[in-house]
Amino acid sequence: MQLIIAEKSTAAETIAKNLGESRLKSQEFGPVKVWFTKINGEDSVIVPLKGHIKSVVYPDTFKKWDENTLLKMVDSRLDYVPLAEENIEVINKFSGKADKVVIATDYDTEGESIGFEAIDVVREKNKSAKIFRSVFSSLTAKELTDAFRDLQKPNKNLSDSADARREIDLILGAVLTRFISLAAKRLGNSFLSIGRVQTPTLTLIVDRDAERRSFKPEKYSRFMATLESSGSAFIAEHEEGKIFDSKTIERLRKLKNAASGTVESVNRKVRRVTPPKPFNTTDFLRSAAAIGFSVPNAMRLVQGLYMKGYVSYPRTDSQAYPPTLDLGEILRELSKSKTYKKYVDGITGSGALHPTKGKEARDHPPIHPVKIPTGSLSSQENRIFDLITRRFLATLSDESKEEIITVKVNIKGDVFIARGSRVMIPGWREVYTYSKYEENILPDIKEKAKLKIKSMNEVEDQTNPPSHYSQGGILKIMEDLNLGTKATRPEILKKLMERRYISASKTLIPSEVAFAVIENLKKISKDLTGAGLTASLETEMKKIEAGEKSKDDVVDESREMVRTILVDLIKKKATIKELMHQALLKQYVFGKCPRSGGDLKMIISKKTHKRFVGCSDYPKCHFGMPLPQSGYMFISPQTCPKCGIHMIEWRSKENKRVYIFCVNPACKVAKEDKAKAKKKEKKAGAKTEAEKAPSGTNS
C-alpha cells in the first residue's frame, strides 16, 4: 500500500479524483478526510495535512515574559512540537501498513519542510517504508500523472533552508518583541511585534510617511489654452508645465487676451506596445491590488484556485513559460468557455505561438490557468481566475498599435502643446481589459493653421508630498530589496495590519506606535531596520538550499547578531521606555476638539461601560462623538479628509472585513461604509442577545 501525503484537504481530494483508477472512497477521522483508491495499480491512501503539523517553539521555561531571561533565550535550544494532532494521528494509523510513502506537498522550501515533518512521523512507526517525492506545478490530471510516474527523492537541503528561516525568525522575533513590548508595557494581545522581514518593511513605510510630514509644498501655476479647430475644441498646455518662476507667471497672465495661435508642428508617431509578461507572484499580487483586492486576500483566493486544480502553483519567481508547458493544451481548455473562445480563436488562428518572456526562474512556471472551473466559485474567485486567464491570453496575443500625436501651437512667442492618442489595432489590449488605456482624440489639425483661442486659464496649485505606498507598490520594493520571499511577503503585510502598525487599507499609513518602534530601533541597529541584513540572510538560505552551508551554522551566526542588537537595546532601555510612552499617548488621540482645542480621546464609561469620544477639557467642554459598542476597533492612522480627525477601523467579531470611517456625526465622509458597519454591529448584537436567551424563552 502507498501512503500519499498532501498539504491541504482540497489538494488531497484533487489528487484522488485526478489519479484514481478505481471507485473513490472517503472516510473521516475527526476533522481529517482521507481518500482511498488505486493509483498506478497500487492501493493508495491519500492523507491531507493542514500546512505545518509541527511548530518550532521555545521551551516552557520561557513562557513568562521577563527581561532577565532575554539573553538566555538567544542561546536556548528550540523544540519542534506537534501542531496538528489529528493529522499526525491519521498518519500514524496508516504509516505502519505502508511500504511506500509519497510526499505530495507544494514543491518549494516550505512545502519540503512540511513534507519532512510528515516523514519524521512516518519513520517513528515504519522505518522500512520507501520515501518518495512527487514534483508538480499544477494539480491537473496530466501533470500529476507525470509526477507520479517520475517520483524523486525528498530534498533535505530545501527543508533545512525553510527550517533555518523559521528558527531565525523565532529567535529574533521572540527576543526583540519581548524587549520592546516590556519597555512599552504593551503585553497580552496588544504586544508590539518585531520581525526579521517585518521590521525593515515597516521602516520603509514609516520613512515614506516621515518624508510626507517634513514636506514643504511649493506654489506653482499651469496655463491651459482651449483652442478650436474645424469646430472642435481641445486643450493645449504651456510647454513648461508647472511654472514656479513669478516673473514667467506674470508674463503668461498677459496672454489671457490673445485671440489666436499658429500651429508650429504636428508630429504623428506610431507606437507598438508589446503584451505584458506572464504573472510571477509579485506581478499577480500587484495587479490584484490594483483592481481592489488586498494582498493577503488575493493570495488566499489564488491558493484556493490552485488547490481546486484551476490555476498553476501561485508562488513563483518566473516570468517565462518553460518549453515543457503545453500552451496549446491550455488554449484548447480555455476555448470551452464562451467568454474566452473568441480570444483563443484569434491567437490560434495567427499561427505559431510566441509568448512574451521576462525573468526566468527554475522553481515553477508563471501563474496561468489550467482548467475552466467546473464547480461554483465566489464572485471574488471568479474575478481572480478571470484576471489570471486574461493575462495568460494577453501574453500570447499580438502587440498593440497606437498613434501618438503631438501638436505645438505658438501663442505670442510661447509654445503650448496638445497631446493626443488613439488605438489603431488593439491587439492584446482587447483581451486584457484590466490594463486601462484612455484615448485622447484630437481634431484634424494642419501645420501653420491659425487656431482660435476660446479661453486661456491659469490653474494655481502646489506640489504634493510623495504618496503613501500602496500594497502593490510595497510588494515590488520588498522584492527588489530581497525582503522576504514570494510566499511570506503577503503574510508580512497582513501581520503589520493585525498588529495595528499600519492602516488596514490600500494606502499604507503607519501609526504613531510604528513611528516610535522604528525610530528607537534605528538608533540602536541599522541592520535590523535596513534591508541589508535580511537580504544577506536570504542569501544564506540559498546556500543551505545548494548544500554549501549547514542549517546549524547559519542559525548560530544569527544568534550572535541578535545578541549584539539586544545588548545595545538594554543599554538604552530608559530612553526607549520614555519614547514609547509618549508615542502610546498619541495613539489614543483622535485629534483636536473643534470647540475647546483639547485632545479628543476614546473614553469608556465607568457606569455604563459604553465607549465614546470625549474631550480632555471635560467638564469645561462637553463635546463628544459616538463609537460602535461592539466589535473590534482602533484609531486609524488615516484622517478624515473633511474634518481632519482620525477615523476608526472597525470589524465585527464574526467578520474579518475591516470598515474605515469617520465617527464625527457632522461629517458624511465614508457614509456608506459607516452604514454597513452599523448594520453589522446591529446584527452582531442581535446574535449575542439570542445566544444569551435561555432555550424555550418566548420573545
Assess if residue 343 is contained within a domain: yes
pLDDT of res. 475: 92
Query: In the predicted model, is pLDDT for residue 569 greater than 70?
Result: yes
675 and 619 part of one domain = yes
CA 224 to CA 417: how far, in whole Å? 9
What is the distance between the terminal CA atoms of the chain, rounded to a whole angstrom? 59
Burial of 298 (0-12, 13-18, 19+ CB in 10 A): buried
**Residue among 102, 99, 88 nearest 127 (CA):** 99
254 and 294 part of one domain = no
Q: Is there a contact between 661 and 647 (Cβ–Cβ < 8 Å)?
A: yes
Kindly state the percentage of the chain with pLDDT values over 90: 62
- For residues 669 and 558, the model is more confident at 558
Query: In the predicted model, is pLDDT for residue 609 greater than 90?
Result: no
Query: In the predicted model, is pLDDT for residue 587 greater than 60?
Result: yes
Q: Please count the helices (runs of H) and the strands (runs of E) in the chain.
A: 21, 21
Handedness of CA 483, 435, 353, 14 (dihedral sign): positive
Beta-sheet strands, E only, within 344-449: 400-411, 414-425
Which residues have CB under 8 Å from 340's CB, separation 6+?
334, 389, 393
| Length of the chain as a residue count | 699
Which residues have CB under 8 Å from 374's CB, separation 6+?
none
Assess if residue 474 is contained within a domain: yes
Question: What backbone phi and psi angles, to 5 degrees, belong to 613?
Answer: -100, 125
Assess if residue 229 is contained within a domain: yes
10 and 92 part of one domain = yes
265 and 298 part of one domain = no
**Residue among 411, 406, 373, 412 nearest 389 (CA):** 373
Which residue, of 583, 602, 630, is where some domain finishes?
A: 583
Q: Is there a contact between 393 and 372 (Cβ–Cβ < 8 Å)?
A: no
Query: In the predicted model, is pLDDT for residue 186 greater than 90?
Result: no
Question: What is the value of pTM for the model shown?
Answer: 0.78
- For residues 649 and 68, the model is more confident at 68
Query: In the predicted model, is pLDDT for residue 690 greater than 80?
Result: no
CA 84 to CA 92: how far, in whole Å? 13
Lowest mean pLDDT among 114-128, 245-259, 457-471, 639-653: 639-653
CA 161 to CA 113: how far, in whole Å? 8
Q: What is the mean pLDDT of residues 353-375?
A: 89
Can you read off the three cell numbers belonging to residue 306? 490552485
Query: In the predicted model, is pLDDT for residue 588 greater than 80?
Result: no
Domain span holding position 144: 2-49+84-154
628 and 667 part of one domain = yes
103 and 39 part of one domain = yes
pLDDT of res. 686: 43
Assess if residue 16 is contained within a domain: yes
- For residues 410 and 195, the model is more confident at 410
HSE (CB half, 13 Å, CA atoms) of 105? 26
- The partner residues of 9 in beta bridges, in order of sequence, read none
CA 27 to CA 105: how far, in whole Å? 21
Amino acid letter at 22? Answer: S
**Residue among 213, 8, 240, 232 nearest 114 (CA):** 8
Buried b (16+ CB within 10 A) or exposed e, 347-378: beeeeeeebbebeebeebbbbbbbbebeeebe
pLDDT of res. 228: 93
CATH code where residue 130 lies: 3.40.50.140
pLDDT, one tens digit per residue, over 44-90 is 999 999 999 999 999 999 999 999 999 999 999 999 999 999 999 99
Which residue, of 583, 617, 643, is where some domain finishes?
A: 583
Angle, helices 471-480/295-307, rounded to nearest 10 degrees: 80
125 and 201 part of one domain = no
Average model confidence (pLDDT) across the chain: 89
**Residue among 281, 398, 396 nearest 330 (CA):** 396
18 and 149 part of one domain = yes
- The partner residues of 591 in beta bridges, in order of sequence, read 600
pLDDT of res. 340: 96
**Residue among 273, 288, 231 nearest 493 (CA):** 288
**Residue among 521, 517, 523, 551 nearest 537 (CA):** 551
pLDDT of res. 412: 94
CATH code where residue 384 lies: 1.10.290.10
**Alpha-carbon radius of gyration of the chain:** 30
Handedness of CA 493, 494, 497, 501 (dihedral sign): negative
Q: What is the mean pLDDT of residues 198-220?
A: 93
Can you read off the three cell numbers belonging to residue 75? 542561546
Number of independent structural domains in the chain: 5
- For residues 142 and 249, the model is more confident at 249
CA 367 to CA 311: how far, in whole Å? 7
CA 238 to CA 245: how far, in whole Å? 14
Can you read off the three cell numbers belonging to residue 647? 477615523
Query: What is the DSSP pairing of strand 2-6 with strand 100-104?
Result: parallel
474 and 611 part of one domain = no
CATH code where residue 550 lies: 1.10.460.10
DSSP state of 503: -
pLDDT, one tens digit per residue, over 423-432 is 999 999 999 9
484 and 375 part of one domain = no
Confidence tier at 442 by pLDDT (50, 70, 90): very high
Which residue, of 527, 562, 583, is where some domain finishes?
A: 583
Active site residues: 313
252 and 292 part of one domain = no
Query: In the predicted model, is pLDDT for residue 103 greater than 50?
Result: yes
pLDDT of res. 691: 35
DSSP state of 257: G
597 and 682 part of one domain = yes
pLDDT of res. 604: 84
H or E segment to which residue 580 belongs: helix 573-587
Assess if residue 571 is contained within a domain: yes
Buried b (16+ CB within 10 A) or exposed e, 645-663: bbbbbbbbeeeeebbbbbb
CA 129 to CA 39: how far, in whole Å? 17
Assess if residue 77 is contained within a domain: no
Assess if residue 59 is contained within a domain: no
DSSP state of 470: B
CA 632 to CA 652: how far, in whole Å? 6
Lowest mean pLDDT among 388-402, 427-441, 603-617: 603-617
pLDDT of res. 134: 96
pLDDT of res. 369: 96
CA 144 to CA 643: how far, in whole Å? 58
Kindly state the percentage of the chain with pLDDT values over 70: 95
CA 363 to CA 232: how far, in whole Å? 56
Query: In the predicted model, is pLDDT for residue 699 greater than 70?
Result: no
H or E segment to which residue 181 belongs: helix 156-184
Assess if residue 7 is contained within a domain: yes
Q: Is there a contact between 361 and 352 (Cβ–Cβ < 8 Å)?
A: no
**What is the DSSP secondary-structure string of 445-466?**
--TT-EEEEEEEEEEEEE--PP
